[in-house]
């Protein structure tokens, strides 16, 4: 994300395999590392540690995701006064969980997201929302502060802490709280179609009225939140395909949209018109539409010599 905003980002990799994601999922690696440069440093040696310190003295920001305490071994304090050090870990640098290993699923479990979601979302919400997005916001705020004070700061980002932000409107609700957003109400539900699925979000009466009018069922108008009506609406949606429903309901403007697969986004007219994609990947900051070329992901150690020369 910082690279997409125009930052020069150097990825420090070890002398062995480097980032294992490059081998496990080349597509994910390419998406998460586009536009970066890669430098290999022998961080367990005195020479490698000296190189890391030299880079840190010239950098604006150092991002690390080791377990708490590891960075102190590789880059013993004090750290450069102007440096913003962004530390990302599963459970934070302090507290009784600081030394525990953690993955997205555990962070979401502790954050209450899995309990609220009713199961495991097929997205890395703790990593990408609780970690990456929170880190970008914190880094930019720290750089803004440094512009006033001349001093950096250390940021302690916990994936688990950050993921609780997804629950902000619901933190004080009991476990058995009734919600109209659970998909049981006919006005707010994902419907299986003859092929594909359609998402209806007609929460407000005016949108539900538009839907009922479009399908010729004015008698349903007062029953938008009536769960006993859901089977009837299920049966109705099963009579047509997703694309048929999308075309049929488009003009009614009833807050309904087809459920797309990720592979369909590139050719969808909305995203094509908005210029969401730049090359093979979507922009990370569509609101800015930053005119920054999104380069390819680097090979391991591809830029070691250049980085050590440029940042000397």
249 has pLDDT over 60: yes
Q: Which two tokens stand for residue 274?
A: 């908005």
Q: Which of 23, 58, 99, 103 is catalytic?
A: 103
* Alpha-carbon span 113 to 107, nearest angstrom: 9
H or E element, residue 10: strand 10-13
The whole-number pLDDT of residue 289 equals: 59
**Domain boundaries defined on the chain:** 41-173, 188-259
Per CATH, the homologous superfamily of domain 188-259 is formyl-coa transferase, domain 3 (3.30.1540.10)
Q: What is the dihedral of CA 144, 148, 149, 150, to 10 degrees?
A: 70
CA distances (Å), origin 165, targets 118, 159, 172, 308: 17, 10, 13, 39
Could you tell me what percent of the chain has a pLDDT over 70?
97
The whole-number pLDDT of residue 71 equals: 96
Each residue's pLDDT tens digit, 263-308: 898 889 988 888 888 777 777 776 665 566 677 899 999 999 999 9
Mean local confidence (pLDDT), 92-111 = 93
Answer whether 123's CB lies under 8 Å from 176's CB: no
Q: Which of 4, 104, 127, 161 is catalytic?
A: 127
How high is the mean pLDDT of the chain? 92
Each residue's pLDDT tens digit, 139-152: 999 999 999 999 99
Tell me if residue 103 is catalytic: yes
Domain 41-173 shares a fold with domain 188-259: no
Each residue's pLDDT tens digit, 217-234: 999 999 999 999 999 999
Task: Report phi then psi at 70, rounded to 5.
Answer: -70, -45
Tell me if residue 127 is catalytic: yes
* Alpha-carbon span 54 to 237, nearest angstrom: 62
Q: Which two tokens stand for residue 13?
A: 């990799």
130 has pLDDT over 80: yes
What angle, 0 to 180 degrees and rounded to 10, lies between the N-to-C axes of helices 242-250 and 205-214? 110
The whole-number pLDDT of residue 184 equals: 94
117 has pLDDT over 90: no
**CATH fold group of domain 41-173:** Rossmann fold (3.40.50)
């Amino acid at each position: 994300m910082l690279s997409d905003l125009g930052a020069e980002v150097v990825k420090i990799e070890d002398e062995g395999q480097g980032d294992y994601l490059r081998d496990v999922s080349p597509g994910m690696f390419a998406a998460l590392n586009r536009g970066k440069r890669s430098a290999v440093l022998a961080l367990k040696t005195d020479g490698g540690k000296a190189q890391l310190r030299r880079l840190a003295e010239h950098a604006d920001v150092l991002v690390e995701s080791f377990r708490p305490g590891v960075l102190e071994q590789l880059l013993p304090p004090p750290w450069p006064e102007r440096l913003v050090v962004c530390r990302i870990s599963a459970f934070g640098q302090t507290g009784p969980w600081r030394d525990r290993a953690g993955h997205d699923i555990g962070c979401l479990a502790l954050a209450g997201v899995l309990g609220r979601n009713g199961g495991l979302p097929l997205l890395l919400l703790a990593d990408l929302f609780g970690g990456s997005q929170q880190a970008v916001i914190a880094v930019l705020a720290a750089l803004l502060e440094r512009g006033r004070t001349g001093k950096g700061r250390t940021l302690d980002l916990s994936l688990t802490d950050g993921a609780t932000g997804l629950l902000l409107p619901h933190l004080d609700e009991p476990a058995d709280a009734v919600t109209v957003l659970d998909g049981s109400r006919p006005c707010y539900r994902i419907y299986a179609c003859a092929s594909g699925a359609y998402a209806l979000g007609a929460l407000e009466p005016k949108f539900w009225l538009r839907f009922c009018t479009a399908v010729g069922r004015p008698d349903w108008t007062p029953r938008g939140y009536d769960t006993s009506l859901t089977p009837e609406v299920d049966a109705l949606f099963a009579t047509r395909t997703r694309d048929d429903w999308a075309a049929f309901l488009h003009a009614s403007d009833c807050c309904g949209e087809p459920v797309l697969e990720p592979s369909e986004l590139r050719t969808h007219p909305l995203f094509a018109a908005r210029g969401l994609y730049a090359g093979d990947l979507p922009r990370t900051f569509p609101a800015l539409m930053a005119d920054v070329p999104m380069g390819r992901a680097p090979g391991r150690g591809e830029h070691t010599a250049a980085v050590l020369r440029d940042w000397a």
